[in-house]
Amino acid sequence: MVSQGLRYAVDIAFCIDVTGSMSPILDKVKENALRFYDDVQRNLTEKSKNVDELRVRVIGFRDFKHDGAAAIEESSFFSLPDEQAAFSDFVGGLTPQGGGDAPESGLEALALAIASDWTTGGDRRRQVIVVWTDQPAQPLDAAGAPAPYSDRVPKDFSALTDLWENEQGAMGSSSKRLILFAPDGPGWSDISGVWENVVHHPSQAGQGLSDVDYGTIIDSIANSV
Amino acid sequence: MTAGAGTPDACAVPTVSFRFNLAQIEGQGEDADPILRFGPNLGLVGALDGMGGAGGTVYETPDGPRTGAYIASRVARDVVEQRMIELFEPEWQLDGPATAVELHRALVDGLTARLADLKAPPTALRSKLVRALPTTLALVALQRAEPAAAAWLAHVFWAGDSRAFVVEPRDGVRQLTTDDIRSGGDALHNLRDDSPMDNTISADTEFRLNYRQVDLSAPYLMVAATDGCFHYVRSPMHFEHLLLSTLQDARDTESWRIGVQREVGVVTGDDAALALLGVGADFGGFKEMFADRADQVRRRFIQPLDELDGEVAHAEQRLEQLRERRDALLHELWGAYKPEYERYQTVKESQS
């Protein structure tokens, strides 16, 4: 009998709040982003699941109302480990500024992440979005989003929910996971209360995350592939 | 009932049995050792898979740190096995639906008590994905319908995506359980779509224990397995091929077990546990009566796919060669074309 040799493909999209209020903790969040994909891969490898394709992309977000089109800094997917340096450079280049007062455009960033160019490769896939923010989310308002984002932002929270729950959508119905490191409040609590395949750590961008909870999160992504 | 060897004293009694528990990481496997017990008129075959994705929370135990998944499958196994030994009497027909209710109660009590003992670490996580002590279960209680008869009743209990199968000489493998997964029950589709389960045993959420009764006639093989055994083969037909080809290659029950475990180990990406009980023949009898079916599965289902695989591999190799030739030709032709194309670019630029 010939070895099956299943091929695993893992895509991760990081949504990182880069508003001024994140200044004290942004370096730690960047460190966590660089560590996160590594931990998922290690977890898979320890279970003899060979990751053939691992890609990450980053969406830095601020507040459309305050920052206009500069509210979004997004990268394409980086293939790791080949494009590790470019990934690190992109993350390193994110600087905390703007945003005005809370809330921020976190849901808009999440919508962009859901619509990512997810891989169709591999026999089994895991598609993960991780959000780090210290603020509640601005209500969705496509009309208020500047070009070129107005066409890419759902008109309201229900439309965003449809985007996530759509079984024929860009993300696989069973392979997607959403990890929220975000405070309780509008947007984020609605998501963790209603959406499937979500793990929410109510916090200021992951502050106070215990090792036990971090391990649980990694297992929830990697062990179920 | 005894665990292990049986007594081949009549035409329809359990005589062939084996089990294995294959962990991806030694000592940390989240499948419990399978249940395998039998007597002349009874059999108990079960598999339990602690769910690593949902039960990744690590607890401190006297044996060291253990995941909730690791603990759950073992607690549930002990609870179910003990309760079935108490309930299962050769002289009484088992009341399946009532037994399902009783097993459900015992599982809730057992897992809840164990969770309380564990002094769970505080968690800030909110998620429908994360459960306390989650595990699957596929359990078959076999009971001979009448003494000295070939007719048997199979009481099938399950929750989650571990499976029970019956394997019969004429018709091969038939799945007795129905996977509790969100995307539905097509076994081939499920191999590629790792759909979330919509029902699993756990200490902190409601669950149901499914029950089904099936009439069987010996000889047959009863198999209970976790998804590590059947979820990584190419198709359900390949799982049957794995079971029957290793039977045909084996010289006795132990070498059959080694063969099945080896082949599962080659393909699996997960912990894998399997228990098998043969009723109605000895090893030689099963090997002989499954010979035709094994050959039929190989010729009808496996060979055509293997042959097409070969053609696909050949076509892909040929395609790659053509691409390389095309790229080489492109550069060669560009080399011939380039001097004239760039003729005037070699003329010195004038300053204006």
Q: Lowest mean pLDDT of A114-118, B6-10, B26-30, B147-151, name the range.
A: B6-10
Sheet holding B137-144, edge to edge: B2-3, B35-38, B42-47, B137-144, B151-159, B210-217
Per CB-CB distance under 8 Å, the chain B contacts of A218 are 56
What is the share, in percent, of chain A residues with pLDDT greater than 70? 96
Closest residue to B194, CB basis, from A1, A124, A221: A124
Residue B143 has pLDDT above 80, yes or no: yes
- Is residue B306 situated within a structural domain? no
CB pairs < 8 Å spanning A and B: 114
Peptide bond into A24 cis (omega under 30): no
Residue A7: band (very low, low, confident or very high) from pLDDT cuts 50, 70, 90: confident
Q: Do B69 and B129 fall within a single domain?
A: yes
Taking residues B227-244, what's their average pLDDT? 95
Contact A188, A145 (CB under 8 A): no
Residue B344 has pLDDT above 70, yes or no: yes
**Which residues, including other chains, have CB under 8 Å from residue B336's CB and lie 6 or more apart?**
none
**Which residues, including other chains, have CB under 8 Å from residue B157's CB and lie 6 or more apart?**
B99, B100, B103, B137, B138, B139, B140, B141, B209, B210, B211
Asked if the Cβ–Cβ distance from A48 to B121 is below 8 Å, we say no
pLDDT of residue A224: 62
Q: What is the CATH number of the domain that holds A159?
A: 3.40.50.410
Q: Do B212 and B118 fall within a single domain?
A: yes
Closest residue to A174, CB basis, from B121, B122, B194: B194
pLDDT of residue B8: 39
Residue B11 has pLDDT above 80, yes or no: no
Asked if the Cβ–Cβ distance from B124 to A213 is below 8 Å, we say yes
Residue A216: band (very low, low, confident or very high) from pLDDT cuts 50, 70, 90: confident
Chain A interface test: which of B125, B198, B237, B241 (most A C-beta within 10 Å): B125
Residue B4 has pLDDT above 70, yes or no: no
Q: Lowest mean pLDDT of B4-13, B58-67, B165-174, B264-273, name the range.
A: B4-13
Q: What is the pLDDT of residues B208-232, one digit of tens each?
A: 999 999 999 999 999 999 999 999 8
Residue B256 has pLDDT above 90, yes or no: yes
Residue B352 has pLDDT above 60, yes or no: no
Domain range for B326: 312-342
Domain range for A202: 8-222
Contact B37, B85 (CB under 8 A): yes
Residue A114: band (very low, low, confident or very high) from pLDDT cuts 50, 70, 90: very high
- Provide the token pair at B187: 């076994």
* B243 Cβ under 8 Å from any chain A Cβ: no
- Is residue B300 situated within a structural domain? no
Higher-pLDDT residue of A19 and A7 is A19
pLDDT of residue A70: 84
Alpha helices in chain B (DSSP H): 68-87, 96-118, 187-192, 227-230, 236-249, 253-267, 283-289, 291-297, 303-341
Q: Do B218 and B271 fall within a single domain?
A: yes
Tokens 């070969």 -> residue:
B310
- Is residue B86 situated within a structural domain? yes
- Is residue B31 situated within a structural domain? yes
Q: Do B104 and B195 fall within a single domain?
A: yes
Q: Do B283 and B317 fall within a single domain?
A: no
Asked if the Cβ–Cβ distance from A224 to B52 is below 8 Å, we say yes
CA distance A208 to A203: 7
Tokens 């691992």 -> residue:
A54
Q: What is the pLDDT of residues A8-29, one digit of tens each?
A: 888 999 999 999 888 888 888 8
Q: Do B201 and B85 fall within a single domain?
A: yes
CA distance A42 to A51: 9
- Mark out chain A residues that contact chain B at CB-CB < 8 A: 1, 3-4, 6, 46-49, 123-124, 172-175, 177, 192-193, 196-203, 208-210, 212-213, 215-225
Residues in chain B: 352
Handedness of CA B164, B166, B167, B171 (dihedral sign): negative
- Is residue B351 situated within a structural domain? no
Q: Do B176 and B321 fall within a single domain?
A: no
List the end-to-end C-alpha distance of chain B, in Å, as a whole number: 103
pLDDT of residue B269: 81
pLDDT of residue B12: 63
Q: Do B64 and B191 fall within a single domain?
A: yes
Q: Lowest mean pLDDT of B113-122, B249-258, B260-269, name the range.
A: B113-122
Q: Number of folded domains in chain A?
A: 1
Closest residue to A212, CB basis, from B57, B69, B183: B57
- Is residue A2 situated within a structural domain? no
pLDDT of residue A2: 37
pLDDT of residue A206: 76
- Is residue A171 situated within a structural domain? yes
* B124 Cβ under 8 Å from any chain A Cβ: yes
Residue B255 has pLDDT above 60, yes or no: yes
Q: What is the CATH number of the domain that holds B238?
A: 3.60.40.10
Q: Number of folded domains in chain B?
A: 2
Q: Do B223 and B322 fall within a single domain?
A: no
Asked if the Cβ–Cβ distance from A199 to B125 is below 8 Å, we say yes
Asked if the Cβ–Cβ distance from A216 to B130 is below 8 Å, we say yes
Mean pLDDT of chain B: 91
Per CB-CB distance under 8 Å, the chain B contacts of A48 are 24, 269
- Is residue B349 situated within a structural domain? no
Q: Lowest mean pLDDT of A195-199, B89-93, B220-224, name the range.
A: B89-93
- Is residue B347 situated within a structural domain? no
Q: Do B193 and B333 fall within a single domain?
A: no
Judging by beta carbons within 10 Å of its beta carbon (0-12, 13-18, 19+), is residue B8 exposed, middle or buried? middle
Taking residues A108-137, what's their average pLDDT? 90
Q: What is the pLDDT of residues A147-179, one digit of tens each?
A: 888 888 898 999 999 989 887 777 877 788 899
Q: Do B184 and B330 fall within a single domain?
A: no
Q: Do B324 and B270 fall within a single domain?
A: no
